Structures are given as structure tokens and as C-alpha cells.
Structure 1
Amino acid sequence: MADKDNSNTTGVSSLSGHFEKYQGDRYVEGWADLWNKGDNLPWDKGASNPALEETLVYGDKVLGSPIEQEGEQRRRKKALVPGCGRGYDVLLLASFGYDAYGLEVSEAALEACKQEEAKSGEKYPVRNQEVGRGKVTWVQGDFFKDDWLEKLGLERNSFHLIYDYTFFCALNPSLRPKWALRHTQLLAPAPWGNLITVEFPTHKDPLEGGPPFASPPKAYLEHLSYPGEDIPYDSKGSIRSDPLREPSDKGLERIAHFQPMQTHEWGKDEKGEIRDRVSLWRRRD
């Protein structure tokens, strides 16, 4: 396990140099280039995140059923995974009954998703036979643009569940205001729409740069509470927050925050203590 962790650290640290030439909105080109080369994919853990599975199992009373029932009409809720990688978490969400959408910028990434889906077999069994399995859809596009929504025939605010794990931390912090605002544009109104974030890496020194960039709980809390606004960081790269400031009416509300019982190995410290945190969010409006 130590060797595996060391290789991950080496691979992740080499990403900093790669992304020096892909600043700002050009980040999408940087990720597409990595997928096209296929020689440095350190974020690929080969399986869905145990913290997400745990949240879906034990958080069902908060998240509700993956099925919407209106009279005799029955339809599946939609779940979105931006920057879905090889699609493990998309397949997991479908096994729980959601119509799950995996979004990636690279054709090579989506081809890897399709290959994983074809060979997944019994890795993602149906969790509730009465609910059944949801449909899986892979789509190429930029999270911040609407063209992929139009391609799917969907409007904004169509997703009942959005899952973020290694997407927030992959973005340069300068893009975090846009990231937070975009969730208010994609997430269905409360109480039907839920954003699940697995916060990682929570204990990295912000001055080490990234990706992955240091992403403590306070960073998620500030950006999602004030979407689209510039959030100040101090000289050490830490969030400067005003505890007396009222959250924005346009922001998301954190309705749960906890340490998962399980997560990927790189979400733990040297002693094996879990440092990842899970948070659930809903729109305020």
C-alpha cells in the first residue's frame, strides 16, 4: 500500500508542471491532453469512492428515493458527475437507481468510461430490485458551458444529485467562484436537488500548489455560500472568512458534514486516519 501511495504522490506532484501552460479556462485542454497521452492518470483509483457509497446507503432519508412518484407517473432522478474519470462513480449511482450522467472534456476519457461500463459485470449490482438500475449516459463537454446540456436535451437545474470528488481540487482556486455558481445553475431546487462533495485534500499545505489544490472544508463552505463571488485568501493560501457575514440568498446551504467511515487511501494521513470529509448541500432559493 505504501508503494502505491508513493507512486500516487509522484504522479500528482508532476501535474503542477504540466498545467503551467494551461491557465484559467484553458484547464480543460490540460486535462484532455493528459487523457490523450494516457501516461499520467494518478487520480484513477480503479473503483468507485467508498465514501460516496456510504453516503448513498446511510443518507437515503436525506437524499430521498432515486424515483420520483407523481400519481401514477414514475420517473428516475438525474445524477451528474462532472470530471467523472473512468466513470466508476457514475456506474455506482446508476446501480442505486439514478439516471446517471458522466461528464468529461476528453473523447479518450469517455472511451475509457465505455470500456469500464462494458467490463464492469457484477461490480455494480442493483441495490434495490424495486427501484432497479438507472440509465448511464456519457457526455463530452465543458462543465462551465451549456452546449452539453443542449446536446442532452436538458435545461439548467435538471439534476437532482451532483457529485464532486476530485473536480473542485483539480481546478485552480481562481476558478472556484465559477465552480460554485455553476452548481446553482445545474442543481434542482430544494429539497429535490442535493450536491454531495467529498472534500479532498483537506490537510494539504495550500502553498504546495496543485492539482490537487488544498481543499479544506472552509473552502467549500465559503465558495458555496457565496457562489460567483471572489473569496479572499491570505498570504499562506488559506481562506479569510467573516463568521458574522450572512450567507447569500443565491448560495447553497450545507445540511450535513461528517467524516466517512471509509474512503480512498489517498484521503488518509500517514497514520491511516481518514482526512476526507463529506458534505451535503441544497439551494437556498
Structure 2
Amino acid sequence: MLPHYFYQITVTDWSLNMEQPKVDEQREELRKHFLRLSDEKQVNGWDYMWQKEVTPWDRKRPTPALVDALAQKGEFFASPLKSGGDGGKMRKKAFVPGCGRGYDVLLFASYGFDAYGLDVSATAIKAAEELLREQDKEQIFPVQHVQAGRGEPKFIEADFFKDDFLSEIGVSKSDGPFDLIYDYTFLCALPPSMRPRWAARMSELLSPTGTLVCMEFPLGKDPNLGGPPHGLTHDLYEQLFAKPGNEVRYNISGHVCADRSGETTESALVRVETWSPERCFEGQEKSTTVSLWRHKKN
């Protein structure tokens, strides 16, 4: 049985707010905008798009595949509570980098996690905080874990690759501060040169017993078409997480070159589960896979 709020949120789905020709026009504007920016300047290019309201990635609701995963894959998403240092219970921390308007952050909070959404765009964070203040959010995102109750959602304007925000939320990266990390339309938004840093950062921020949820998207897109969103493959995730931080090589078609050595580093993440979601956003059914990752030593 799916949470009832899914049906409430679908009434404001993207398809009801913008016709397909307009979506295609915005996607092309997005692609051309980032094509003009160097890799180093792309981080700051997102706020410009938010200010112009060119946000074709904003579907006005949490990711359907994540809604289903949390509701139906309980064996992988344990209790949002864990033992604290004083013998009591404390909330686990969920992290959503590139959170945009923050629908998925509020979803995690409804399951009892203290949920942190990060975005480099000040305009996006302002929009997320406005959503947080809406009076009906508790009806749209009802509590899903009776024992734990609702976790606290928090939004942060910061650079994912810098440590400033960690002190702001009172955590240290020494032991991996987040029990659950969710990536959707974040890796595919980064230029290929930043992918090794992304993998290293994910490994660094994930707790020793934590789980990284990757919505692998867009699969099947020709990598040479550019982006964002940039085309990704299952093999690319495997290569990046086998040796987080190490460069990967690409062939002339833009696909990652196979590494058959089987070698991994101490910081490696391993795939523990993969499935094709029953539901995705419209048009993404054939280009999305859900994968779960954990530290190799676990």
C-alpha cells in the first residue's frame, strides 16, 4: 500500500504545469547555458537557472521510485533510530545533495530521519525553505514511522565538495556523518571531470554502516550528447566506487573503459542491491535504475 500523500502530490505534477514543448525548450536552454561555462564555473551556474525559473528537473513532488523504495524495501531501510552515546536513541541522518526544492528531504523526514538538503543555489534553498513553511506539509508528508515520529528537515546553501556546512549542522566528517545519502540528478548534473571527486566525497560522507541510494539516471543516453543531464552507465558507477577519487578513462564513444583488474581501494563502495523501479517520472521509465551501495568492509 503506497503512502496516500503520493496521490495528493501528483495533482501538481510537472506535466500539469508545463507542456512538453516548453519542457524541451528549457532543457535545450539548460544545455546551452552550461556549454558556455568551464567546468570550474558550472557550480555557480545553477542559481542563474533557478532565478530564471528554468528548472525542467523540478517535478513538484518526491521521486516516485524513492517513495516506493521507502514503503516497500524495508529490509534495506532500517529503523531511523540508532543507539546514542548515552545508551539512548538518536535519529539517523539522511543527506540529499543537490536537493533543489527539497521534496525528497521532507519525505525522509516523514520516515523519522533528520534530513539535510544541500544545494549550491541560494534561490533553490529559498524555495525549499518556503516549501518547509507551508501549512499543509504535514498532511502531504504524514509521519510514516510511528515509533520514531517526524525527523527534522534542514536546508543548507553550500558547496558539496567543501566542509563548511558540516560544522553548520554540528557533525564531523571523521567517521562519515550520514547514515543515508540519496543521489538523484546530482551526479548527472556534474561535468565528467568532477565525477572522481563526487565518488570520493560520497565515500567520505557515508557512515561506516550507512547506505548510499543512487537513482542511476539517465541510462542509455549517448554520453557524447553532453548535458546536463549527462548520460551515465552502470559500469561508470562501478568504476567510480571501486577506487573513489581515482580518474577513470573513457573511450571515443564517451563510455567508461572497462577495468577488469578487480582492484579496489579501502574507501571503495560496493553495490548491494539493484532493481528497476516500477514507477518513475514520466519519460524516465527506461532510463532509471535504483542501486544501493555500502562500504566494502561491511
Change (3 A) 1:139 1:23: same
Q: 1:260 aligns with which of 277, 281, 284?
A: 277
Q: Would the alpha carbon gap of residues 200 and 6 (structure 1) be closer, same or farther in structure 2, given more than 3 Å must change? A: farther
- Structure-to-structure mapping, 1:8-47, within 5 angstroms: 8-35=23-50, 37-47=51-61
Shift of 1:72: 4.7
Unaligned residue ranges in structure 1 (runs of 5+): 269-273
* Residue 168 in structure 1 maps to residue 187 in structure 2: yes
1:149 aligns with 2:163: no
Q: Is the 8 A contact 1:166 1:200 kept in 2?
A: yes
Aligned to 1:277: 289
Do 2:95 and 2:181's aligned partners in 1 also have CA atoms closer than 8 Å?
yes
What SS class does the counterpart of residue 56 from structure 2 fall into? coil
Q: Aligned pair count?
A: 277
TM-score, normalised to structure 2, is: 0.88
Q: Which moved more, 1:127-136 or 1:3-12?
A: 3-12
State which of 64, 67, 74 in structure 1 corresponds to 2:81: 67
Separation in 2, partners of 1:77, 1:38: 36
TM-score by length of 1: 0.92
Asked whether the 8 Å contact 1:94–1:136 carries over to 2, the reply is yes
Corresponding residue to 1:177 among 196, 199, 207: 196
Amino acid at match of 2:289: R
- Of 118, 140, 157, the match for 1:123: 140
Q: Which amino acid aligns with 1:278?
A: V
Shift of 1:208: 0.9
Residue 5 of structure 1: how far off its partner (Å): 4.2
> Distance between the aligned counterparts of 2:272 and 2:72, measured in 1?
15
Q: Which amino acid aligns with 1:94?
A: A
Cα displacement string for residues 167-214 of structure 1 (whole angstroms, at most 9, x for unaligned residues): 00000111000000001111100xx21100001110111111100000
2:259 matched to 1:242?
yes
- Whose relative contact order is higher, 1 or 2, with alpha carbons under 8 Å and at least 6 apart? 1
Q: Are the aligned partners of 2:219 and 2:288 in contact in 1 as well (CA < 8 Å)?
A: yes
Contact 1:12–1:212 at 8 Å: present in 2 too?
no
Contact 1:160 1:194 in 2 (8 A): yes
Structure 2 Cα separation of the partners of residues 103 and 49 of structure 1: 17
After superposition, what is the alpha-carbon deviation per residue over 1:46-68, rounded to whole angstroms, capped at 9, x for unaligned? 00001111221222222311111
3-state SS of 1:164 partner: strand
Percent of counterpart pairs with the same letter? 38
**In the aligned structure 2, how far is the partner of 1:153 from the partner of 1:33?**
30
The one-letter code sitting in structure 2 at the alignment partner of 1:88 is: Y
User: Which AA in structure 2 matches 1:202?
Assistant: L
Q: Deviations over 1:89-133 (max 9, x none)?
A: 000000011000010112211110011122234111111211211
- Where does residue 98 of structure 2 map in the other structure? 83
> Is the 8 Å Cα contact of residues 161 and 194 (structure 1) preserved in structure 2?
yes
1:197-244 per-position Cα deviation (integer Å, ceiling 9, x unaligned): 001110111111100000122211211122111111111111111234
Distance 2:93 2:65 in 1: 20
Give the match's secondary structure for 2:207: coil
Maintained 8 Å contact 2:96/2:118: yes
Q: Distance in 1 between matches of 2:128 and 2:82?
A: 27
